[in-house]
Amino acid sequence: MEYKNILIDIKDTIAVLTFNRPEVLNAMNTETVKELGEAVTELEQNPAVNVIILTGAGRAFIAGADIAELSTKSPEQARSYSELGHRVMHTIQNLKKPVIAAVNGYALGGGTEIVLCCDICIASDQARFGLPETLLGVIPGWGATQRAPRRMGTAVTKELIFTGEIIDAHKACAIGLINRVVPHDDFMDAVFEMAKKIAEQGPLALSLAKKVINAGMEKSLQEGCRLEIEAFCRLFTTDDQKEGMKAFLDKRKPLFTGK
C-alpha cells in the first residue's frame, strides 16, 4: 500500500517505516497519524516481517504535532484527534512484533509519545526528547501522562511535563526513556544490528514475551507470574519450540516457521 507521508522498506524480515515530512520536521498531522496506524497494522499482518523499525527523514524523528493544524481545532475536534492518537499508540504498543524506535533527531511531544509505545529505543547522539505541550497551554494527548510514569517514574515525568524541558539523548538514556545512545554516524548500523539479532529469535516466543511483559505491568506480581507460566507452557505446543531446542542440541542455527 502506498502512503503520502510514510515510506516503508522491507529487507531480510526487517521493515523500516520512515516518517517522511522533513520540510516540517515530520510533524504529525491527522493524515499522518491515520497512515501510521494503517501502516503498522499492514506490517503486523505481513508474514515476511519479523521486526519493525520506526525512524524519521531529515533532521527529526517527529518534532511533535502539526501545530498549524492543531491550533484551529474546536474542543470536539481536539477530542477526536486525541482519541485517534490514543488508538494508534495502543496499536503500536500491542503489535505482536517487536518495534524499535530509531530516533535520528528531534522527538518532541508526539515523537516522545511514540517512543514510549515502542519496545526498544536506540537514539543518535544528536537526538533530542521532550514533552513541551504545557508551553502551548495543553498537556500531552497521546498517553504520555500514563506511559511515561510507568517507564520513568512520576517525579521524572512531572519534571519533564511541568518544565517542558528538551533533553539530550544521554539524559534520556539515564532516566530510562531510551535504551541506548550511539554516535550519529554509526546510528543506523547499530539499529539494524539490534533488529537482526531480534529477528533471529523465535517469532512466537517474541510475541508472547511482549504480550506477557505488557500485560504484567497492569497486574500484581503473582498475576503476572501466572501469565508467564501459561505462555511458557503454551510455547511447548509449537513447532518453533521443538526446532529451537533441537537446533541447540545439534549446535546449529534454528529455522523458525512461526508455527
What is the domain-level CATH number for residue 48?
Answer: 3.90.226.10
Q: Averaged over 222-238, what is the pLDDT?
A: 95
Last residue of a domain, one of 180, 199, 218: 199
> What is the pLDDT averaged over residues 161-172?
97
Q: Give the CA angle between residues 82, 94, 81 to the nearest 5°.
A: 10
Shared domain for 134 and 228, answered yes or no, is no
Same domain, 195 and 209: no
Is the per-residue pLDDT at 2 higher than 90?
no
| Predicted confidence band of residue 250 (pLDDT cuts 50, 70, 90) | very high
Note whether 139 and 210 are same-domain residues: no
Are residues 227 and 103 both part of a single domain? no
- For residue range 29-85, list pLDDT tens digits in order: 999 999 999 999 999 999 999 999 999 999 999 999 899 999 999 999 999 999 999
* 225 occurs within a structural domain: yes
Confidence band of 207 (pLDDT split at 50, 70, 90): very high
Residues classed as catalytic: 113, 133
Amino acid code (one letter) for 249: L
Burial classification of residue 154, based on how many CB atoms lie within 10 Å of its CB (0-12 exposed, 13-18 middle, 19 or more buried): exposed
For the chain, the domain total comes to 2
Strands 166-168 and 128-130: antiparallel
What are the angstrom distances between the C-alpha of 152 and each of 160, 164, 215?
A: 11, 16, 18
Domain range holding 56?
6-199
Q: What stretch of H or E contains 131?
A: none
Say yes or no: 209 and 175 in one domain: no
**Considering 199, 222, 238, which residue would you say is the last residue of a domain?**
199
Same domain, 18 and 87: yes
C-alpha span between 163 and 199 (Å, rounded):
39
Domain with residue 213: its CATH number is: 1.10.12.10
Q: Is 173 within a domain?
A: yes
DSSP code string of 10-65: EETTEEEEEE--GGGTT-B-HHHHHHHHHHHHHHHH-TT-SEEEEEESTTEEE--B
| pLDDT computed for residue 195 by the predictor | 97
Which of 61, 36, 40 shows the shortest CA–CA distance to 51?
40
Q: What pLDDT score does 52 carry?
A: 98
Residue 193 domain-assigned? yes
Give me the percent of the chain exceeding a pLDDT of 90: 96
| Residues paired with residue 51 on neighbouring β-strands, in sequence order | 14
C-alpha cell belonging to residue 114: 511514540
75 residue type, one letter = P
Phi and psi dihedrals of 63, rounded to 5? Answer: -85, 10
Same domain, 208 and 163: no
> Which band of pLDDT confidence, cut at 50, 70 and 90, is reported for residue 92?
very high
Are 78 and 129 in the same domain? yes
Do 114 and 83 have their domain in common? yes
Q: Is residue 209 part of a domain?
A: yes
Domain identity same for 122 and 169: yes
Please indicate, yes or no, if residue 222 is contained in any of the structural domains.
Answer: yes
Please choose, from the candidates 133, 41, 23, the residue with its C-alpha nearest in 3D space to the C-alpha of residue 78: 133
Q: Same domain, yes or no, for 32 and 87?
A: yes
| C-alpha cell at position 37 | 496506524
- In this predicted structure, what is the pLDDT of residue 1? 77
Task: Look at residue 257 and tell me if it is in a domain.
Answer: no
Residue 1 lies in a domain: no
Per-residue pLDDT, 59: 93
DSSP annotation string for 161-172: HHH--EEEHHHH
Residue 137 carries which DSSP code? T
Mapping DSSP onto H, E and C, the string for 222-256 reads HHHHHHHHHHHHHHCCCHHHHHHHHHHHHCCCCCC
Is 234 found in the same domain as 122? no
Q: Is residue 255 part of a domain?
A: no
- Residue 202, pLDDT score: 94
Spatial contact of 256 and 243, defined as CB atoms under 8 Å apart: yes
